[in-house]
Amino acid sequence: MQDKVIVITGASSGIGEKLAEVAVARGARVVLAARRAPELAEVAARLGEGALAVPTDVTRRADNEALRDQAIARFGQIDAWIANAGRGITRSVAQLTDEDLDEMITMNVKSVLYGVQAVLPHFRERGRGHVIAVSSMLGRIPFVSIRSAYSAAKAALNSLMTSLRLELRQELPGIHVSTVLPGVVATPFGNNARHGGADSRALPNAQPVEDVAAMIIDLIEHPRAELYTRPEMREFAGRYYGAEDVGVLEDQPPFNFIPVRR
């Protein structure tokens, strides 16, 4: 990890902020991206000279390209690109509007695609690199119905990352592609959901953000295709997709869990 250069989107708070802290503590240099410039600058200032803040709207292709360029201009290279920015939603399928679906796809899928396409030429030139997308367990099993379009967008992201991994596997084995599948993490993520939502920090059994960040940084040192931040979630996915009738499981927890708005 020493002297690796890691780009982290969604770095002004939550998982992204903790990723930056863990990475710098292990000797890496970080390029921090988010729309909230003052908060981003505070994080970078706290981390010292090994951190560069680049205010970025990841839903804009040009911003991702500028982020890449500033990272290379400052540190000379990029070793890993962590696409962590995203946004949730609180709305049932029956209530979804065009705007709801468009924002979920733009924020959770297109933003990652723009980042991948921005950094991939640099990785190709170097013959190595690592793209990590922070997805969600809801993209694997959509067990919270009011997360509807968010779950659908993360499912699309999972497929996109698998396709990228298969695309690069033979031609460029030095470029790793990983998808992270967290469950509920103790961050303000829920507060920022479209149409409001519960504070994720108040939900039962929310995973400490420090644990998730450490696992993702470990992934850079020990690459693999997918990372479930909780082993029980991997077991849950195996049971669900191995079931003769998934509808039987959908009558059981956690499918009947509904986050409370606050």
- Residues acting as catalytic residues: 150
- Residue owning tokens 């992201």: 157
Q: Hey, what are 211's tokens?
A: 């644990």
- If phi > 0 it is left, if psi is from -120 to 50 it is alpha, else beta; for residue 76 that is left
DSSP string, 135-184: --GGGTS---GGGHHHHHHHHHHHHHHHHHHHHHHTT-TTEEEEEEE---
CA nearest to 229, candidates 248, 203, 211: 211
> How many whole angstroms separate alpha carbon 180 and alpha carbon 187?
16
Measured at the alpha carbon of residue 18, what is the angle toward residues 106 and 151, in degrees to the nearest 5?
A: 35
State how far the Cα of 58 lies from the Cα of 106, in Å rounded to an integer: 9
Q: Which two tokens stand for residue 33?
A: 């991206």
- Give the Cα separation of 133 and 211 in Å (integer): 17
Task: Count the Cβ atoms, other than its own, within 10 Å of residue 3.
Answer: 11
